[in-house]
A and B are shown apart, each in its own frame.
Chain A
Amino acid sequence: MPAIIVDRLSKSFDYYKKEAGLSHSFRNLFYRKPLRKDAVTEISFRVEEAEMVGFLGPNGAGKTTTLKMLTGILHPTAGEASVLGYVPWERRKAFKKQFAIVMGQKSQLWWDLPANESLMLNKCIYEIEDRSFGRIVGELSELLDVRDLLSVQVRRLSLGERMKLELIAALLHEPKVLFLDEPTIGLDLLSQRKIREFLKTLNRERRTTVLLTSHNMNDIVDLCKRTVIINGGKVIYDGDLAKVNGWLDQRKIVRVSLAEPVERRRLEAYGIVRSVEDVEAVLEVEKTFVKEQAKRILDDLPVVDFTIEDVSIEEGIAQLYRNGGEENESAPEIRQDVRHGVYALDGVPD
Chain B
Amino acid sequence: MGFMHSMEYRTDFALSLLSGIFPVGVQLFLWNAVYGSSQESVYGYTKLEVIGYTLLAALFAKMMATGFEYEISKDIKDGQLSKFIVQPIRYGPYRLSRFLGEKGPQLIVLAVLAGIACVLLRNYAGLDITGTGLLLCAAALIVSVLLNFLIYYCLSTVSFWLLEVWGIFYTFALISLLASGGVFPIDMFGPVVQQALGVLPFPYLVFFPVHIALGRVDGDALLQGFGVQFAWIAVLIALTGALWRAGLRKYESAGG
Residues of A that sit less than 8 Å from B by CB:
18, 22, 25-26, 28-30
Contacts and interface: CB of A to CB of B under 8 A. Distances in A.
Contacts of B13: 29
B10 interface: yes
Contacts of B4: 22, 25
A29 B13 CA distance: 9
A294 B8 CA distance: 64
Contacts of B7: 22, 25-26, 28-29
A30 B10 CA distance: 8
Contacts of A18: 8
A30 B8 CA distance: 10
A20 to B, nearest CB: 9
Contacts, number: 15
A30 B13 CA distance: 12
Nearest to B6: A25
Interface string B1-16: 0011001101001000
Contacts of A25: 4, 7-8
A29 B8 CA distance: 7
A173 to B, nearest CB: 39
Contacts of A30: 10
Interface of B: 3-4, 7-8, 10, 13
Contacts of B3: 22
8 contacts: A18-B8, A22-B4, A22-B7, A25-B4, A25-B8, A28-B10, A29-B7, A30-B10
Query: Most chain-B CB neighbours within 10 Å: which of A18, A29, A30?
Result: A29
Nearest to B8: A25
Given A22-B3, A25-B7, 11 more contacts: A18-B8, A22-B4, A25-B4, A26-B7, A28-B7, A28-B8, A28-B10, A29-B7, A29-B10, A29-B13, A30-B10
Nearest to A30: B10
A18 B7 CA distance: 12
Contacts of A26: 7
Shortest 9 CB-CB distances between A and B: which pairs? A25-B7, A29-B10, A25-B4, A22-B4, A29-B7, A25-B8, A26-B7, A28-B8, A28-B10
Contacts of B8: 18, 25, 28
Contacts of A22: 3-4, 7
Contacts of B10: 28-30
A113 B112 CA distance: 51
Nearest to A32: B10
A22 B4 CA distance: 6
Nearest to A27: B7
B58 to A, nearest CB: 26
Contacts of A29: 7, 10, 13
B31 to A, nearest CB: 35
A22 B3 CA distance: 9
Contacts of A28: 7-8, 10
A18 B8 CA distance: 9
A29 B7 CA distance: 7
B145 to A, nearest CB: 28
A28 to B, nearest CB: 7
A26 B3 CA distance: 11
Nearest to A18: B8
A205 to B, nearest CB: 48
Nearest to B7: A25
B2 to A, nearest CB: 12
A30 B14 CA distance: 12
A338 to B, nearest CB: 43
B177 to A, nearest CB: 31
A239 to B, nearest CB: 46
B237 to A, nearest CB: 40
A40 B33 CA distance: 61
A303 B231 CA distance: 89
A26 B7 CA distance: 7
